Amino acid sequence: MRPERQRGEGSAGPIGPFSPPGTEAYESATGVFNLLAPARPSAALTATTPEEVIQAVEHARRVGAGLRTHSTGHAAAVAASLEGDLLVRTRMAERVTIDPVRRVARVPAGATWGEVVDAAAPYGLAAPHGSSAHVGAVGYLLRGGVSFYSRRHGLASNAVRSIELVTSEGRLRRVDQARDPEVLWALRGGGGGFGVVTAVEVGLFAARGAVAGAAFWSGEHADRLLALWLDWARGAPEEIMSSLRVMNFPQVPDVPEELRSGPVVCVDGAITHEGHERAASAMANDLLGPLRALAEPITDSWAAVAVPEVTRMHMDPPDPVPIFGDHMLLEDLDTTGARTLLDLVGPGSGSPLVAAGLRQLGGALARSHPQGGVLDHFDAPLLYAGSGAVLGDVTHGELAAHCARVRAGLADRDTGMTAPTFVESREQPQRHLTPTQVGCLDRLRGELDPDGIFSADIMPNATAREARVTSFRSSVDFDAERSS
């Protein structure tokens, strides 16, 4: 019997289907979006078929290892340490396909929202996508998903019709409302730990175009812009969602020079339409008219656009960056609350955050869905999110300290709940489920994954069970595993 080694230690050959550190395959599989949260498992694999996922699960069971998953790596900072575990990056080889009759998209794991939106648009259909074309669609859907269309259509996860996953037994399983409705309920917002998802079917909705864009004003107008925006948001029609952010753009060539001169206020949003562009434009003007009358924007891109353009207007960075931020679901802000927010993140606050502000919720987001997931709505009217990049003179510590000040300053407006897709780090307090829901989820996890192979992939506060501490058995012969 060989003495136990650290996982991944030894020659640079494969460990079963996995590749060890130092190999090109390992680096490709472990790539993440947030450079502050590098993924360093013992070994890693990019799976392109369900069969490869099954082989990975079987290998993890054979050697007694925990199995972790990601796709585009956008949620890396929320994940627990991967040290000692095996990682599967899901990037299925099949393409996104559209069924225009059923208004459904089949989305393989690893596909981005840009791929889904581009595939649906020729049919006059749209998906409940995120604000960035580069984010993985499946992970976003499983974690709830707040799209620019959610005030009309609800949380994105409620649109998921079916899910295909590989269970801890190494079996490909399809769940939908007719088969395993309880598992479908749990997967949509349940926080993970049920298996490796390889594909989903998500419902689409009719959209011939959109009125969308982003307008920017000098930060000197921040207080009056925020007051007008909050007043409008309280009575806005469900067809429109917008956000207001204070932005401190870094000195990078990709950002227009006129936006890099100091804090600016951005109001962006979107309204899809089924051919009634004039009505959509009128809704946008109800928002923008008073803001434009207050002061002329520095730039203003609001216009009638094709639906795929909506994924490109929020100015989310396309390439990996070192990010730290925080997020809360808030009660409504009165005049004092609005002033507090600007004192913390507005002009003159010394905020190191690149972007900090509010997104309106309400509408269908506030209503429970009869066939939704365990997370099917939010009670809060406002979502706060703020984040910065560790670039130049800005340090991780400075960002963390400022986020803590914002959280303390808004404590009396904080509902204590969070939206999973907006959580920026594992350090951040987060909760989106009730204790009763957590108990139901843990019962299902016990049935689907009794040995806890996937337990380290569960989001904080989504389980009352302790993550299984895994280690390779001392009897594992690494040389034999590499040659198998």
Q: What is the per-residue pLDDT for 473?
A: 33
Please say whether the beta carbons of 103 and 125 come within 8 A: yes
Q: Please report the pLDDT score of residue 479 as a whole number.
A: 39
Residues 6 or more apart whose CB falls under 8 angstroms from that of 398 comprise 352
| pLDDT for 5 | 30
Q: Which residues does 102 contact at the CB level (< 8 Å), separation at least 6?
A: none
Beta-carbon contacts of residue 469 (< 8 Å; ≥ 6 apart): none
Q: Look at residue 471 in the predicted model and tell me its pLDDT.
A: 40
Query: How far apart are alpha carbons 19 and 29 in whole angstroms?
Result: 9
Q: How far apart are CA 193 and CA 296, in angstroms?
A: 50
Residues 6+ apart with CB under 8 A from 177: 161, 184, 371
pLDDT at site 189: 97
Whole-number Cα distances in Å, 326 to 18, 69, 74, 466: 34, 23, 15, 25
8 A C-beta contact, residue 473 and residue 5 = no
- Token output for 97: 């396909």
Q: Estimate the crossing angle of helix 277-294 against helix 222-234, to 10 degrees.
A: 150
Model-wide pTM > 0.85 = yes
What pLDDT score does 255 carry? 73
Mean pLDDT split into 10-residue runs, the chain, 484 residues: 32 76 97 93 98 97 95 91 96 98 98 96 95 93 96 97 97 96 98 97 96 96 98 96 94 75 93 92 96 97 94 78 95 97 97 97 96 96 96 94 97 97 91 97 96 95 73 35 38
The per-residue DSSP string of 210-268 comes to EEEEEEEEEGGGHHHHHHHHHHHHHT--TT-EEEEEEE---S-TTS-GGGSSS-EEEEE
- Cα distance between residue 282 and residue 270, in whole Å: 12
pLDDT in tens, 138-153: 999 999 999 999 999 9
Query: Residue 427: its pLDDT value, please?
Result: 85
pLDDT at site 340:
98
> DSSP secondary-structure letter at 413?
G
Query: What number of residues does the chain have?
Result: 484
* Span 418-442, pLDDT tens digits: 999 999 888 889 999 999 999 999 9
**CA gap 88, 453 in Å, rounded:** 13
Smallest Cα–Cα separation from 121: which of 259, 305, 372, 370?
Answer: 305
